[in-house]
Amino acid sequence: MTLSALWNHVRRILAVAHVEVLHLVWDPTTVSLILLVPAIQIVLFGYAINLDPKHVPIAIAGNHDRRIEKVRRTIENTGYFRIVADGLQRGAAERMVADGKALVGIELPRDDSDGEQPRIVVDAVDPSAVRPALAALENAYWQQIAEVYAIGPVPSPDIEWLYNPKGRTSWTIVPGLAGVVVMISMLMLGALTLVRERERGSWETLLATPVDAIDALIGKLSPYVVIGTVQAAVVVYLAMLLFDLPLKGNIAELLLAVPLYASAYLILGFAFSAVAESQLQAIQGAVFFYLPSMLLSGFMFPFEGMPKWARVIGEALPLTHFVRATRCVFFRGQCGSVVLSEMMPVAVFALVASAGALLAYRRRID
């Protein structure tokens, strides 16, 4: 190839690149998403994600004499805990951990003279949420023991890890993976539904038939809800098969909640599709939403470790509630009421998304 021919290739490449840059510059939606997605990720990773969680809820039960005041001061001095209840009857702290009302429970002995040591009960569904706090508590305990037992045998507390005693990461991540898979699938499928039909010209053809617009919309989206439910069932089955996950609750309770959960994200994806001018914009909108959802839901990082503003945002996300529901069904059992209560915010989210999707859809039709 001569130098002249090579230069001609370079000129043609530069000309095509110039046209593509102009297309991007004159497409403000694409430019804003390209800039906003990394900016949002930087803010979330820099300010919201914290692998050293604070304000871990802890409950204290047992001895009601001056010892409980010493235990309370020791806990507060660690800076990791938030005491949600103290002065409880023996066994009540363990029940609060079992019910999900506290992540750590301390059962104090009846009497110091019998040599019995405190028993610490830990919710190990998400070990990363409690390990740093528990290490700080143990360190404070040993310092206190060193002051009392200068010479002689040193007693140690009895620590019991509930639900995930070996601290398996797969047991923490995999249950919520069903929610993540359904979320991504529904957002993507919903985001492509309307904009793809518009680009093909088939949506207007469908609206020209006697079928009402709402009927057409429900008819097009309902198969995806079935797909999302099947996806969740497959992920749950493979998780139990490959990772030996326990199943303490009724899996039917969880699967019955999947259609509502899938519909919430599917409708949101459809709203993106109604607003977007192209499939690329619709996909970018879906990515813009599901990445923060994965970070703020407690799926990957401890929910208790996030600042208050991040937890407020996380509480508004359907994935947060679905992750809690799945972990309850897998590890705690008797979760019918828990699944129902966790799906209530998802229903509210679905209603708000439906209103936004309907508004965007009507504007698009007009």
| CATH code for residues 56-162 | 3.40.1710.10
**CA dist 121 → 58, 59, 62, 102, 103 (Å):** 10, 10, 13, 10, 8
Q: Which residue has the tokens 């059992």?
A: 333
Q: Say yes or no to pLDDT of 344 above 60.
A: yes
Tell me the C-alpha distance between 201 and 204, whole Å. 6
- The token duo for 64 is 């009601």
Q: For residue 306, how far is the Cα from the chain centroid?
A: 12
Q: What pLDDT is stored for residue 66 in this prediction?
A: 62
Beta-sheet strand order (sheet of 158-162): 81-88, 56-61, 104-107, 119-123, 158-162
| Inter-axis angle of helices 279-296 and 169-200, nearest 10 | 160
Q: What pLDDT is stored for residue 261 in this prediction?
A: 95
Q: What pLDDT is stored for residue 321 in this prediction?
A: 94
Q: Where are the CATH 3.40.1710.10 domain residues in the chain?
A: 56-162
- The token duo for 364 is 């698009």
Q: Say yes or no to pLDDT of 175 above 80.
A: yes
- The token duo for 184 is 């991504």
Which three-class secondary structure state does DSSP give residue 60?
A: strand
pLDDT in tens, 108-158: 877 655 556 778 888 888 887 788 888 888 777 766 655 555 445 555 667
pLDDT in tens, 75-94: 888 888 888 888 778 888 88
